[in-house]
Structure 1
Amino acid sequence: MQYHGKFPIFDPNQIKTYPVADRINKVQLEDLADPERTLATAIPLAPEQEDVLDQLAKHIVLAVRAGRPVIWFTGAHLIKNGLGPILIDLIRRGAVSLLGTNGAGTIHDFELALIGQTSEYVPNALPQGQFGMAREFGYINAALLEGQHRLIGFGQALGQLICDSDFRRAVEKRLNLDHPIVFKHPEVSLIAACHQHNIPLTVHVGIGTDVIDQHPNFDGSAKGGCSGRDFLIYTQHVTNLDKGGVVLNIGSAVTGPEVLLKAVSMAGNINRPPCRIVTADFDLKPYHLNAMNDESNCCYYFRHHKSVATRIPAAFQGQGLYIQGDQRRT
């Protein structure tokens, strides 16, 4: 990135990277969930969990049958917890209209597609200055530069990186690689599944929040530009909730709720607010409805509780559901 300001800045060209193949990872292909095995397995749940999940499943089925949106937003832990194949199966079944995530979600998915592993040991890498320094993360930055050049979104750029050989060659050219980029396991990639099924994957990022930002070829205007287009794609889909639909927030404490809140306000501003939507928030923390209007209570500041499970559905004559528990069980 160019800089002409008055303060000194860090020179990212000093950064030393290493091959991702040299890294020890916590998540392997065998750790990923198998949809058929999951369907055949009885997972013990508390009665209240079973009840709310049954309600949610019925709402999703009704929305799909009526042609109404089913919008999903997930944090990165869904990928790290090995649940990507479950969501891929739901994409194939037509139960996903749009998938939103953060930068880390796409990075874990990218690693699984590339090498079939993800989730490095941060405590080991951090003291050595190697956390997030795998060389292949530069592929994502180059894809975003190409995406910015083509004026497309973050999710589409990564989808084409994995699935489109012409786009991939353009990225290789930007990187001056003397070898092709090979994704060994695209079948486990949510990015690839969305691209192949023409489902928008929208990626909502900050600057300095992801390991790709540490690399010499990072460009904030490319990252922000591609993600900004994704926000408008997401918001356009939110306007389609004006006749109802379902929004699920899975393990995103801040980004998912805040993106939804802004998109809902924009939809209302053009007279296309959500109507009687069902929202579902999945998280580990207990939910306290009586704290949602009490600024002296720490629970008031849990954005996913306040926005996704409470304020947004209440504002539009909808229903908010909260599912507390480990994602791998709920």
Structure 2
Amino acid sequence: MRQPKAYEPVDLTGLAAFSIAERQHKVHLGDLASPAGVGASLAEFFDSLPSTPATAGLRDLASAIAHAVKADAPVAVAFGGHVVKCGLGPVLIDMMEAGIVTAVVTHGAGAIHDLELAYHGETSEDPAQTLRDGRFGMVEETPSYLNDAARLGRHRGLGQAIGDLMNEDPEEFPHAGVSILAAASRLGCTATVHVAIGTDTVHMHPEADGGAIGEATLLDFRKLCAVVADMAEGVWLNLGSAVILPEVFMKAYTVATNLGAALEKMVTANLDQIQHYRPRENVLGRPTDRGVALTGHHEILVPLLRHLVLLELETR
């Protein structure tokens, strides 16, 4: 049986030390913040921020978006339902109207919240109050409209059909001005909706037509493949979708590259409160060497990014 060893404390007098002047450093005086005054402009506020990976990532992303705009390359925003519920529809619409965002991509939940705000001015029920009594997702209007849109979307795509439906009936949709999909229809921006059947409340209703939903969302996927194929100098933003849209993007990217698109220089970004596995791998890591991860609340990051892009465009 082995016997334990007895150790004496190490003698440190023989250590080889060297001057701090010889060492490489990651933080320098020029990286520190310079607090902006109370009346500072947003441009001065951005200039006052410390130079850290997070602020550098925000600046790099804004610069990449501005470059894409000047190069007439697509800037696509893939957004989850929480982005709509955070109140960011008007911000994304403004970016579309300014010619910054050229394509919007969402899934069924994003479309539901977008349409409900346009129709009713309110959205996002509380499942804790309605699930146990079987009332969760059982409103009449939302499934009626979205399933009508699916039938209309067989030949134009689901995203286009939902936006058209809202714009063609302003009395039924008095708040269409805050709808991302309605804005895309009005402005001629590409809008695609990628449905996973069974994940959305509207699929529980008798109006749901699996054939229509499938055809409409498949057409949208093929539209998206065309958008991604054009993104040699473009930017793909994933906002708040942890699974569905990163998976859709990876497949669209594969189709585009298989058909000959050169996408090595495209920039991708993931903005979310938590950096999840699929966005990290399928959006940032595998497709490109130019992936930007920004961690924080959508309602803070997205307006900041919008303003920084506008500042970048002013200086180019």
Q: TM-score, normalised by structure 2?
A: 0.77
Instruction: Provide the residue aligned with 1:68 in structure 2.
Output: 73
Q: Which amino acid aligns with 2:83?
A: L
1:204 corresponds, among 184, 190, 194, to 194
Aligned positions of 1:27-46 closer than 5 A: none
Aligned positions of 1:172-211 closer than 5 A: 182-211=172-201
Instruction: Provide the residue aligned with 1:26 in structure 2.
Output: none
Instruction: Provide the residue aligned with 1:227 in structure 2.
Output: 217
Q: Is the 8 A contact 2:229 2:256 kept in 1?
A: yes
Instruction: Provide the residue aligned with 1:144 in structure 2.
Output: 150
Q: What secondary structure sits across from 1:120 in the alignment?
A: coil
Change in Cα spacing, 1:188 to 1:143, as seen in structure 2 (3 Å) is same
**Partners of 1:156 and 1:97 in 2: CA distance:** 14
Larger Rg: 2
**Partners of 1:125 and 1:118 in 2: CA distance:** 14
- Post-superposition Cα deviations, 1:122-163, rounded to whole Å, max 9, x if no partner, equal 110111211111100212112212333xx1200111011101
Does residue 162 (structure 1) correspond to residue 155 (structure 2)? The answer is no
1:264 positional shift: 1.1
**Partners of 1:228 and 1:192 in 2: CA distance:** 20
Does residue 311 (structure 1) correspond to residue 300 (structure 2)? The answer is no
Instruction: Provide the residue aligned with 1:109 in structure 2.
Output: 114
1:45 positional shift: 7.9
1:265 positional shift: 1.0
Number of residues of Structure 1 aligned to a counterpart in Structure 2? 258
List gaps (5 residues or longer) in structure 2: 1-41, 302-316
Q: Is the 8 A contact 1:152 1:229 kept in 2?
A: yes
Q: Is the 8 A contact 1:203 1:227 kept in 2?
A: yes
**Partners of 2:84 and 2:101 in 1: CA distance:** 16
1:273 positional shift: 3.2
**Partners of 2:122 and 2:236 in 1: CA distance:** 30
Q: Is the 8 A contact 2:71 2:233 kept in 1?
A: no
Identity rate, percent: 39
Q: What secondary structure sits across from 2:292 in the alignment?
A: strand
Instruction: Provide the residue aligned with 1:258 in structure 2.
Output: 247
**Partners of 2:119 and 2:109 in 1: CA distance:** 15
Q: Which amino acid aligns with 1:156?
A: Q
Instruction: Provide the residue aligned with 1:320 in structure 2.
Output: 291
- The runs of at least 4 aligned residues of structure 1 exceeding 3 Å deviation read 39-48
**Partners of 2:44 and 2:80 in 1: CA distance:** 25
Q: Which amino acid aligns with 1:329?
A: I
Q: TM-score, normalised by structure 1?
A: 0.74
Q: Is the 8 A contact 1:73 1:250 kept in 2?
A: yes
